[in-house]
Amino acid sequence: RKEVEQDPGPFNVPEGATVAFNCTYSNSASQSFFWYRQDCRKEPKLLMSVYSSGNEDGRFTAQLNRASQYISLLIRDSKLSDSATYLCVVNTYNFNKFYFGSGTKLNVKP
């Protein structure tokens, strides 16, 4: 079983739509969680860290559910510029390793 699993998509949505991605992780000892976005042929850029209480940054909301071992990312009022691959990243301190999901591709269409 993979450490981190994501639906690869693609998610094709119109501008203005709300879209949500989930990511599940297998290690209950995981301590920190992140969403990165990666544009084609570019490096991953940090979008948000994910906190236990959930957190919001403008149109983006991240949630963590430790009981079910998943994190989610909600994007409201999608923009064309949101088109990218969204990577879920989980860190387990004991092993000092970061585990990446395979990424979810989002296409926002006019």
Interface with other proteins (CB under 8 A), residue from 11, 21, 34, 35: 34
Interface with other proteins (CB under 8 A), residue from 26, 59, 93, 109: 93
Q: Segment near other proteins (CB under 8 A), from 9-17, 19-27, 65-73, 101-109?
A: 101-109
Cα 12 to Cα 83: distance, rounded to the nearest angstrom: 9
Interface with other proteins (CB under 8 A), residue from 14, 28, 29, 43: 43
Query: 10 Å Cβ neighbour count for 89?
Result: 21
Among candidate residues 11, 3, 23, 14, the one with its CA nearest the CA of residue 85: 11
Which residue is it, tokens 């989610």?
Answer: 72
Q: Closest separation between CB of residue 23 and other proteins, Å?
A: 12
Chain CA centroid to CA 54, Å: 13
Interface residues toward other proteins, by CB under 8 A: 31-32, 34, 41-46, 49, 87, 89, 91, 93, 96-98, 100-103
